[in-house]
Structure 1
Amino acid sequence: MFGSLVLLAHGIIYFIVMGSIFRARQSIGVGVFFCLLGTMHFLETYLAATFFIELPFGLISPGSTVMFTGKLAFFLLLYIKEDAEVMRQPIYGLLSGNILMIALGLLLRLYSNPASLPGYNPDLRFIDQMGLLMVWGSLLLFIDLIALVIIYERLGKLVTTTVPGRIFISLALVLSFDQAFFYLGLHHLTGVPESAFYGGWIAKVAAAAFFSLMMTAYLRIFEREPLPVQSRRAADVFDRLTYRHRYEKLAERVGRDALTGLQDRGQFDAKGAAMLQAASQSGLSLSLMMIDIDHFKSINDSRGHVVGDGVIRKVAETIVASKREGDELFRYGGEEFALLCPQMPPGAMALAERIRAAVADSTHPELQRPVTVSIGIATFPTHARVFRELLEKADAALYRAKASGRNGVVGADA
C-alpha cells in the first residue's frame, strides 16, 4: 500500500512540475521544457535500471513506470499543442547527447590511472552501462513517438474522437511495445528478473490512465483553445518527425536555376541523354531547341544586371507559357535556354516560331526596345543519333540564326 502511494505521489509531483514549465513555455521559451526533459532522462534511466518497489503483481520502477510514461504523455501534449516539428527536437537532442556520453566515456578509458580520492571513485563501467541503456531507450523513444502520434491520429478517424480516450489508448499501446523491448535490453545488461516485466507493464497501463486524466484536466483548465479536429495523415506525421519533408524540399531545389526556377544545365545533361535513349527504344523522335536572347550583353552594359536578370526571367516565363505540356525547358547558361520536345516533327519549326513571336511581342517597360531570341533546332534521329551530336547540331543552327540577323529560327543541316 505504501509503495503504491509513493508511486502516486511521484506521478503527481512529476506532472505538476512538468505541467507548470510546459504552461509557461510561451513566456520562458520551450527550451526550458526541453532541458527539463533532458535532465529527467538520466534519472529516469538510472531508476529504471536500479530502483524497484515490490508490489503484489511484480517489481515496479518509478523511473520506467511514472517518469517514462509521463515523458511520453508530455511529448504527446507537445504534439497536440504545438506540432510534430517542435516535438521531434528533444528526441534528436536526447539521442545525440547519449551517444556523445558513451563516446566521451570510452575516450576517458585511455587514461587508466585516475587519481584515487576518499569517498566515491570513478566507475566508467557504470557510465558505459547507463550510456548503452540511454541510447537504447532513446532509439525506442524515437520509434515510440512516431507510433504514438500516428496511433493518436488514426484513433481520431477510426475509434473515438474524445481526447482522453485517444490519449489513453495511444499511450497504452505504445507503452506495451516499449515495455517488451526495453525489458530485453535491461535484462541483458543488468539481469533484472521477469517479474519486472509483468509488474512494469501493469503499472505502465495504470500510469497511462493516470496521465491521460491529468492531461485532459490540464487541457480543459489551462489551455482551452480548440484542438485540431481534422486528423493528419500517417505519412505527413512521419515526414515531419523524420525531417523527410525538408529533404524533399531540398531535393526540389537541387537541379533548379536560382534565377528562373527552371531546371539547370546538370539536369539538361542527365535528362537529355535519358530522353534520347527512350525515344530511340520506342522509335520516336526528339527535337532540341537552343534559344538565345539577342544582344543580351548590351542590355546588361546599358541598363545593369538587375534589369538583365528581369529580362531573363520574363523570357523564361514566355517560353514556359508557349511550349507544350510534355516539353522540358532548361536554363543552359547565361542568356541561353534549351528546350527538349519529344515527338515533335514536323511541328518543331512551328513551335519554335511561336516561341520566337511570343518573346518578340512581350513587353519590357524598363527597356526602350523589344527583346528577341534566336533559335536553332536539331532532331533525333534525322540530324543526330547521340545526344552530344544533337546538341552540336542545334548549337550550329543557333549560330546560323544569329549570323543571319537574329530574331529567327533555323533548322540543322541534315
Structure 2
Amino acid sequence: MLNSFLLLAEAVFYFGTMVTLFGFRNRIGLGVFVCALGAMHFLETYLASVFYVALPFGMVSPGSAVLFSGKLVMLLLLYIKEDAATVRQPIYGLLLGNALMIGLVLILRLHDIAPLPDGKLPDIAFIDKMGWLMAWGTSLLFIDAILIILLYEKLGKYLRNALFTRILVSVACVLTFDQAGFFTALHFIAGAPVAVFLGGWFAKMGAALAFSIMLVAYLRWFEARQIPAPRGLSDIFDTLTYRERYEALVEQAGRDGLTGLLNRGRFDSDGEAAVAASLRTAKPLSLLIIDVDHFKSINDRFGHAEGDKVLKSIAALLGEIVSPEDQVFRIGGEEFAILCSRPHPAARLLGESIRHAVKTSTSTSRFDITISAGISTVGETTRCLADLFALADQRLYKAKSTGRDRVVGEPGGNEADGRNTWTRPERSVGA
C-alpha cells in the first residue's frame, strides 16, 4: 500500500513541477522546460535497470512507470500546446545526445586510467550497460513520441469532443508498445524476469490513467487557448521527421542564388522530363527563351550591382505573370527560360505579355529595359529538349538581330495552328 501511494506521489510531484515550468514558458523560455525534461533521462534509465518495488500485481520501477511515462505525456503536452516543429527538438536532442555519449565512451576506453589514492577505478562495465540501455530507451522514446502524436491526431477524427479518452487511449497504447520494447533490452542486458514485464505494464496503465487525468485537468483549468483541431497526419509526420526541411534543401539546391529561380541544371532535368511527358500524353509544351537587351552595357555603364537589380526585377515579374504550373529558369547570365503547357499561339501571347510588362514595369529614369524572346513548341521536328532549345534559341537570335524588343516564334510544321498533331510514339506520326 505504501509503495502504491509513493508512486502516485512521485507522479503528482513530477507532473506538477513540469507543468509549472511549462506554464511559465512565455516568461522564462521553453528551454527551461526542455532541459528539465532531458535532465531526468539518466535517472529514468538507471532506476528502470536496478530499482524495483513490489506491488500486488508484480515488480515495478519508478523510473519506467513514473518518470518515463511522465516524459512521454510531457512531449504530448508540448505538441498539443505548441506544434510538431517544437516537439521534435527535444526528441532529436535526446536521441543525438545519447549517440554522442556512446561515442565518447568508446574513446574514453582508450585512456590509460590512473587510479585514485584509495585505489578506486571507474566502473566501465556499468557505464557500458547504462549507455546501451539509454541508447535503446531513447530510440524507443523517439518512436514512442512520433507514434503518440500521430495516434492522438488520428483519434481526433473520432474523439474530438472526448479529450480525456483521446489522450488516455493514445498514452496507454504507446506505453504498451514501449513496455514490450524496453523489457526486451532489460531481459537480455540486465536479466530482468517476466514479472518485471507484467508488473511494469500494469503500472504503466495506472500511470497512463493518472497522467491523463492530470493532463486534461491542466489543459482545461490552466491553459486558456483552445485545443487545435485535428491536423493532417502526413504533414505532421513530415514535420516530425524533418522531411519538409529535406525537401526544402533539395528544392533550394536547384535554385539560382541571385534570382531564386530554377537553375540551368534543373532546366536540363525538368525540361527532358517535360518533353517526354508531352510526347507521351500529346499535351502541348512550349519553350520561351528570354534575353535582356543590351545587358552588358547596363553593367558597363552603371555597375554590376545595378545589373543584378535588373535581373532580380525581371525574375520577380516573370514569377507574377506565368501560371503556377509553368516553370521559370535562369539559364545564363541575362538569359531566362520558361516551360509552359501551352500551344504555340498561347505561348506567343505569353511572350508578348512579358515583353510589354518588362518594358513598362522595370524601366528606370536612367535607362530603358527591354527583352527579346524566341519561342518553340514540341512537335514533329522538336522531339527532345535539345531540338526544342535550339529552335527557340535560333528565333531569339533572330529577334536580337532584327532590332530587339520583340518576340519571334514563326510557326512551322505542327506549330501552325498551335496543336500537337503527332500521335503516341507507338503509332505513326500524323502530317
Q: Place the TM-score, normalised by the shorter chain, in its bin.
A: 0.7 to 0.9
The offset of 1:258, in angstroms, is: 4.5
**In structure 1, the residue corresponding to 2:297 is in which secondary structure?**
helix
- 1:34 Cα deviation from its structure 2 partner: 2.0
AA partner of residue 273 (structure 2): A
Cα–Cα, structure 1 residues 231 and 341, in superposed 2: closer, same or farther, change >3 Å? closer
* Kept after mapping to 1: 8 A contact 2:271/2:385: yes
Name the residue aligned to 1:273. 272
> How many Å apart are 1:214 and its aligned residue?
2.4
Of residues 181-190 and 288-297 in structure 1, the stretch that sits farther from structure 2 once superposed is 288-297
- Offset at 1:159? 2.6
Distance 2:312 2:77 in 1: 47
TM-score by length of 1: 0.87
Measure, in 2, the Cα distance between the counterparts of 1:16 and 1:321: 53
- Deviation (angstroms), 1:268: 0.9
Q: Which residue of 2 aligns with 1:51?
A: 51
Decide whether aligned partners of structure 1 residues 282 and 20 sit closer, same or farther in structure 2, where only a CA change above 3 A counts: closer
Distance 1:38 1:347 in 2: 60
Question: Measured at CA, do residues 191 and 235 of structure 1 come closer, stay the same or move farther in structure 2, by a change above 3 Å?
Answer: same
- Can you list the C-alpha shifts for 1:359-393, whole angstroms capped at 9, x where unaligned? 44x23463356432222344555555543354344
For residue 225 of structure 1, report the CA deviation from its aligned partner.
Answer: 0.7
Q: Distance in 2 between matches of 1:17 and 1:321?
A: 53
| Alpha-carbon distance between aligned partners in 2 of 1:93 and 1:166, rounded to the nearest angstrom | 27
Residue 133 (1) aligns with residue 133 (2): yes
Work out whether 1:288 is the aligned partner of 2:287: yes
CA distance in 1 between counterparts of 2:159 and 2:191 reads 39
Structure 1: distance between partners of 2:88 and 2:160: 25
Partner of 1:103, secondary structure, is helix
Q: 1:382 to 1:406 in 2, by over 3 A?
A: farther
Tell me what 1:373 maps to.
Answer: 371
Aligned residues: 412
Question: What's 1:401 paired with?
Answer: 399
Taking structure 1 as reference, are residues 121 and 227 closer, same or farther at Cα in structure 2, changes over 3 Å only?
A: farther
Letter in 1 for 2:115: A
**1:113-137 deviation digits (Å, cap 9, x = unpaired):** 5426537531212211111111111
**Cα distance change, pair 120–195 in 1 and its aligned pair in 2 (3 A):** farther
Aligned-residue CA RMSD (Å) = 3.0
**After the TM superposition, which residues 151-230 of structure 1 pair with which residues of structure 2 at under 5 Å, given as runs?**
151-159=151-159, 161-221=161-221, 223-230=222-229
Once residues 363 and 384 of structure 2 are traced to their aligned partners in structure 1, the CA distance between those partners, rounded to angstroms, is 42
Cα-to-partner distance string for 1:161-201 (whole Å, 9 max, x where unaligned): 24333322221111111111111111111111101111111
Q: Deviations over 1:7-43 (max 9, x none)?
A: 2232233233333333333332222222222221101
* Shift in alpha-carbon separation, 1:376–1:213, aligned structure 2, 3 A: closer
The answer on whether the counterparts of 1:383 and 1:412 sit within 8 Å (CA) in structure 2 is no
Encode CA deviations 1:83-126: one digit per residue, 9 max, x unaligned: 22222211111111111111221222223654265375312122
Deviations 1:239-274 (A, max 9, x none): 222222222333343323354443221111112222
Indicate how the Cα distance of structure 1 residues 53 and 220 shifts in structure 2: closer, same or farther if over 3 A, else same.
same
Q: Distance in 1 between matches of 2:161 and 2:284?
A: 57
Structure 1 CA distance, aligned partners of 2:21 and 2:255? 44
One-letter amino acid of the counterpart of residue 296, structure 2: K
Write out aligned runs for 1:1-400 (5 A).
1-111=1-111, 114-115=114-115, 118=118, 120-159=120-159, 161-221=161-221, 223-281=222-280, 287-305=286-304, 307-316=306-315, 318-319=317-318, 327-341=326-340, 344-345=343-344, 352-353=351-352, 355-360=354-359, 362-364=360-362, 366-367=364-365, 370-381=368-379, 386-400=384-398
Aligned partner letter, 1:12: V
Is the CA contact (8 Å cut-off) linking 1:146 and 1:237 kept in structure 2?
no
Query: Structure 2 vs 1, CA of residues 412 and 99 (structure 1 numbering), >3 Å: closer, same or farther?
Result: same
- The answer for unaligned runs of 5 or more in structure 1 is none
Residue 61 of structure 1: how far off its partner (Å): 0.5
* Amino acid of the structure 1 residue aligned with 2:242: Y
> Against the structure 1 CA distance between its residues 412 and 69, is the aligned structure 2 distance closer, same or farther, given a 3 Å change threshold?
same
Letter in 1 for 2:84: A
CA distance in 2, matches of 1:220, 1:326: 46
Deviations 1:42-66 (A, max 9, x none): 0110110111111121001111111
Q: Is the CA contact 1:376–1:394 (under 8 Å) kept in the aligned structure 2? A: yes
Cα deviation, residue 279, structure 1: 4.2
Identity value in percent: 50
1:285–1:379 contact (8 Å) kept in structure 2: yes
* Cα 1:251–1:62 shift into 2, 3 Å: same
